[in-house]
Structure 1
Amino acid sequence: MQMRPKCNGYGSLCYDPRFIGGDGVMFYFHGGKGRDFSLVSDTNLQINAHFIGSRPNGRRRDYTWVQSVSTMFDTHTLIISAKNVEQWDDSVDTLLVKWDGEEVTVPFDGEAEWKTDTGVRQVAVERTDDTNAVKVTVGGLVSIHMKAVPVTKEDDKAHNYQLPSNDAFAHFELQFEFPNLSNEVEGILGKTYRPGYVSPVKRGIAMPIMGGEDKYETPSLTSTNCKLCRFQSATTSAAIVTDIGISQY
C-alpha cells in the first residue's frame, strides 16, 4: 500500500496550507484558525475544510493547517478528521470517520476499507498505509488521497511556529482527483479547474497568496453556504449533520 498524496502534484493541499491547483499553479491560502472554508463547490459536490492554527506573539496572521475535510453530495456527508493528539506516534491511528453524522470504523485488516452504496453511487474509505492514510472515493464525483501528519519539530523551528509542546497539530496532506466538475465550479481549489482559468497570484515569488477568505468561508464544516458556493442538495431538506467530535482551536 503506502500510497500518499503527492504534495507537488495537481490538486494537492499540504503544509500550511499550500495548494497546487488544477492549472498547476502553486499558491498559499491564509484562512484562519478555527474557521471553515469551501475547497470545492459545484452543483452536485461540496468539499469543506476545517482549519486549525496558532498565532505566535508579534505575528499578524495565524499559521494554519487543515484538520478536517467534509465531502457533501446528494443528501450525504462524509467527514474525515485528524484527532487532536499531544505527541505524535506513527503507529497510532488518529483518523475519525463519520458518515451522515455517525462514526464508522475503517478496518485495519482484510480489505481494510469501509464502503457503502447510497443507491446512487458507491462510497469507500480505504486504508493506504497501516495507519493515518486513506483513499476516499465517491463514485463519479471525487477521489481523495489523505495522510494525517504532525507538524514536526524541524518545521516548527524552521518556520518559528512557536507551537506548544503538548499538541502535535495533526493535520492532512491531501490530493484530489475530479472526474466530472462543471465549467462553473467554485471554491479555493475548485475554481482552478475551470476551462480558461487564469490564476491571479503572483508568479515567481516564494509565497504567492490567494485571497478570498470572505468569498469562501462557511459557517461550519458541514455548511454549503458561502458567498460563491454553488452546491444544491438533492433535496432542500437534506439531513443536517453536526461537527460533534471535531476539536476546535
Structure 2
Amino acid sequence: MILYLSRIESGTHVEFVFLTVRKPNCDGYGSLCYDPRFVGGDGVMFYFHGAKDGNFAIVSDDEFQINAHFIGSRPQGRTRDYTWVQALTVMFDSHTLVISANRVSHWDDNVDSLTVKWDDELINLPTDGEAEWRANGDEREVIVERTDDTNSVRVMVSGLVEMDISVKPIGEKENKIHNYELPQDDAFAHLETQFRFKKSTDNFEGVLGQTYRPGYVSPVKRGVPMPMMGGENKYQTLSLFSTSCKLCKFQRPSIIAGTEGLVAQY
C-alpha cells in the first residue's frame, strides 16, 4: 500500500498520520464517474450518456483538449446505451497522454488494470520509491504518480490540469440492481476521474468544460433523479485522438492534425 504522511499539530503535541486520500471524489467539483455522471464547475450534477464506442470532447481550450472514449451495452428493449468512460486522452502542443482501463474478464483488486501511454509509448509506472513517472512536453512537465498499489494515479500537466483517476469494475451486485445485463466475461472496467484545472477556464468548451465558464447557466432539469445533459452532436469527435468537433477549440500542429482521419479509421 502506498501511504502519504501528514503532520497534525495540536498545542504542543505533534502527530504524524498516514493518509491515502488522493482518489477521485465522485461528488466533488469536476468529477466524472459511474455511467457517466458529472459534477460541473458550477456544482450542478448531470448525466451524459453519449454512445457506446463513441468519443467526446470533455474539455477543449486553445491550449489543450481532453477526450473520453465510451464503452457500453444496450440490453434488449432499451432505447439508449448504458455507457462508461474507458479511456481519457490529454492533448497539448504536439503531445498525447492516454490513460485507459484494460478490458478484464474478472476483476481482481490486486491486479493493475490501468494503462498509461505517452506519445504512443507505453509507460512503465514504478511501484516503489516515489512511484512516479515524469516527462517534459516542450515547456510543460508531465507527472504520473501512483496513489495506490494498483489502479489509481494522479496525473499532472503543469499549467493545465491535474487529475485523480481510479479504475473501477461493474460488480455482479451492481449489474443486477441496474439491470445492465453485462456479459459474464467482461467486468466493464472504467475510469472514475476528478479534474482540477490550473489555468483560466473562461473560454472552455466540452461536456464538462462548458460548466466552468463565467455566467454559464446549466440547461439540465433540477430535482429529478437523472438530470440529463444533451449536446452529443456538439462534442462528438472522430476518435479518441481527434480534436475535431463542432465546438472544439484546440488545434493540433498541422503535421499531427493531418493524421486524424487515419487515426479515426484505425
User: TM class, shorter-chain normalised?
Assistant: over 0.9
CA distance, structure 2, for counterparts of residue 195 and residue 134 of structure 1: 30
2:52 alignment partner AA: K
Mapping for residues 159-238 of structure 1, pairs under 5 Å: 159-233=178-252, 235-238=253-256
TM-score relative to the length of structure 2:
0.88
Q: Secondary structure at the match of 1:192?
A: helix
CA distance, structure 2, for counterparts of residue 55 and residue 232 of structure 1: 34
CA distance, structure 1, for counterparts of residue 105 and residue 200 of structure 2: 39
- Residue equivalent to 1:8: 27
CA distance, structure 2, for counterparts of residue 225 and residue 10 of structure 1: 26
User: Number of paired residues?
Assistant: 244
Q: Does residue 119 in structure 1 map to residue 147 in structure 2?
A: no
CA distance, structure 2, for counterparts of residue 152 and residue 13 of structure 1: 19
1:138-164 per-residue CA deviation (whole Å, 9 max, x = no partner) reads 000000000000011121111110111
Q: Whose Rg is larger? A: 2
Match of 1:72 among 76, 88, 91: 91
Match of 2:107 among 69, 88, 92: 88
Match of 2:47 among 6, 18, 28: 28
| Unaligned segments of structure 2, at least 5 residues | 4-19
Q: Secondary structure at the match of 2:193?
A: strand
CA distance, structure 2, for counterparts of residue 201 and residue 181 of structure 1: 24
Q: Secondary structure at the match of 1:237?
A: helix
CA distance, structure 1, for counterparts of residue 77 and residue 263 of structure 2: 32
- Residue equivalent to 1:102: 121
On the 8 A contact 1:13/1:173 being kept in 2, the answer is yes
CA RMSD in angstroms, aligned pairs only: 1.6
